[in-house]
Structure 1
């Protein structure tokens, strides 16, 4: 335990791991959109999107639970209370969040989606104010939230900044997903105080994935067109989730939230860059650049710790 703490509190290692996690999360935007194309899932086929998401998170959860077992962790010795907590976390952090996320991603661009989803940081700061005694809002955090939300607003304007383009099932669903994600993160932090991070993450992904799969199939959804490329993409998305969530939760377990969360500003940057590369989207529109800069400044401000005298 002490060895783990020494490793995961080393500033250089924290920076490397946090950056890696943000790269993985940023890559999810173009990966999911390409997944819809490879599996021939139309924009209106919501049930099949849920099945696609279900497969991803079931695999991700199983990978983590197998790894936990190999590492000697007790994955079956769970009390009724812990089982209820894990089920609730799975429904919140995986099922509910990704119902909105997967639908939202399909109804907007990858660049725009990555910027919209960055609102999770601002929601986390606002919720923490009402939940944690030692994590209250101050003028710096409030200003950071305002600047960040201005950036989110700007990306929804047309190139000439005269028309406001906002789709509730696109950008709106991504904002809802971001809010649910922040609620899930706070709830998950509470559970990991008395349970192993890898076990918690594994079960939450697995349970949430099962729920997504059932909801999708019962609604008539299905996923076919399994080829080598589409299967590899699905495996990448699954491993992305298992790696990013478990590593991020480990960083939060051994460090203060602020110094770790500040790296969240990299997610919209990676998301926008990778969407431009893999989806041929234009990142260099003035509104996108301005929005990215404002969002990153906002995230930096809400997570920057004031220097102590």
Structure 2
């Protein structure tokens, strides 16, 4: 019990939560370009949603296996769910993997990376609103709203250049990306709610396995397939699986020991990291200029406002 209490105290500290959340943001930020590269490597077309679901299903099934292996090694025992945990796993999997990525993968193929990054950032709002207004896990305060608005302004700034002349709205693109953010918001709150008395890595790993299998079955029935199986294409698939396994497992642990709003607001760093990493990987030297610096300041300010504690008298 003492170790558990010590772990809970450590992960509840703002600096520790911030460090781990930023690691998650860096991993997820790299996935924006990673998915696009994966489509190119496997020869997946924008209209081939069945092939996109094969890609997603295999990625998340492997991610689940990775998470369960790492978690089992850490706990020194196999992470096998109890019967009472299966319902929780299925519900989390429905929102986190099946619905979120069904809409995300199809949406990303029909919109730009810039617009997707901005819309995805809205999951911070949806997570906090769902936690506060639907599940009543915390209070919706003016401070949280202001912090979210400041952070979201940073996302607009860093992506402003890519939006010029491209303000049209596509249901199959932008609309599906937005639906994926709503699913993500529910999954974050459900993980917070269901991880009480449960191992969050166990929940994370099994929900990925089940969700990945469901996505693969959907694609198999619809005739989906993967082509161009090469070392480079398999490598990007394995990397994206690692991103999901590592980032979501860490995120789940943070949600277990912290309020949803405290952790969710770090999601604003995902697009910022995405722009920086894309600039490095794709050698876009102008990807992080003055706008990027302003955006980073706004995002950090928003995170600070949401997590600032009132001084006790």
Deviation of the 1:17 alpha carbon: 1.8
Q: Retained in 2: the 8 A contact 1:145–1:298?
A: no
Which of 79, 89, 109 is residue 75 of structure 1 equivalent to? Answer: 79
Q: Residues of 2 paired with 1:100 and 1:136: CA distance?
A: 29
Q: Which residue number corresponds to residue 219 of structure 1?
A: 222
1:194–1:142 distance in 2 versus 1, CA, 3 Å: same
1:57–1:113 distance in 2 versus 1, CA, 3 Å: same
Q: How many residues align?
A: 307
Alignment of 1:7-86 (within 5 A): 7-70=10-73, 71-79=75-83, 81-86=84-89
Deviation of the 1:89 alpha carbon: 1.3
1:226–1:293 distance in 2 versus 1, CA, 3 Å: same
Deviation of the 1:25 alpha carbon: 0.6
Q: Residues of 1 paired with 2:55 and 2:104: CA distance?
A: 12
1:280–1:45 distance in 2 versus 1, CA, 3 Å: farther
1:278–1:116 distance in 2 versus 1, CA, 3 Å: farther
Q: Residues of 2 paired with 1:101 and 1:173: CA distance?
A: 6
1:67–1:8 distance in 2 versus 1, CA, 3 Å: same
Q: Residues of 1 paired with 2:110 and 2:293: CA distance?
A: 22
Residue segments in structure 2 that go unaligned for 5+ positions in a row:
none
1:151–1:170 distance in 2 versus 1, CA, 3 Å: farther
Greater CA drift, 244-253 or 28-37 = 244-253
Tell me the alpha carbon deviations over residues 84-110 of structure 1, each in whole angstroms, 9 at most, x when there is no partner.
221121121101100111112222333
Deviation of the 1:123 alpha carbon: 0.8
Q: Residues of 2 paired with 1:25 and 1:206: CA distance?
A: 19
1:296–1:160 distance in 2 versus 1, CA, 3 Å: closer
Q: Which residue number corresponds to residue 279 of structure 2?
A: 276
TM norm structure 1: 0.86
Q: Residues of 2 paired with 1:42 and 1:161: CA distance?
A: 25
1:114–1:169 distance in 2 versus 1, CA, 3 Å: same
1:212–1:302 distance in 2 versus 1, CA, 3 Å: farther
Q: Retained in 2: the 8 A contact 1:104–1:172?
A: yes
Q: Retained in 2: the 8 A contact 1:121–1:299?
A: no
Q: Which residue number corresponds to residue 109 of structure 1?
A: 112
Which of 156, 177, 180 is residue 177 of structure 1 equivalent to? Answer: 180
1:129 aligned onto 2:132:
yes
Alignment of 1:188-199 (within 5 A): 188-199=191-202
Residue segments in structure 1 that go unaligned for 5+ positions in a row:
none
Q: Residues of 2 paired with 1:77 and 1:151: CA distance?
A: 41
TM norm structure 2: 0.85
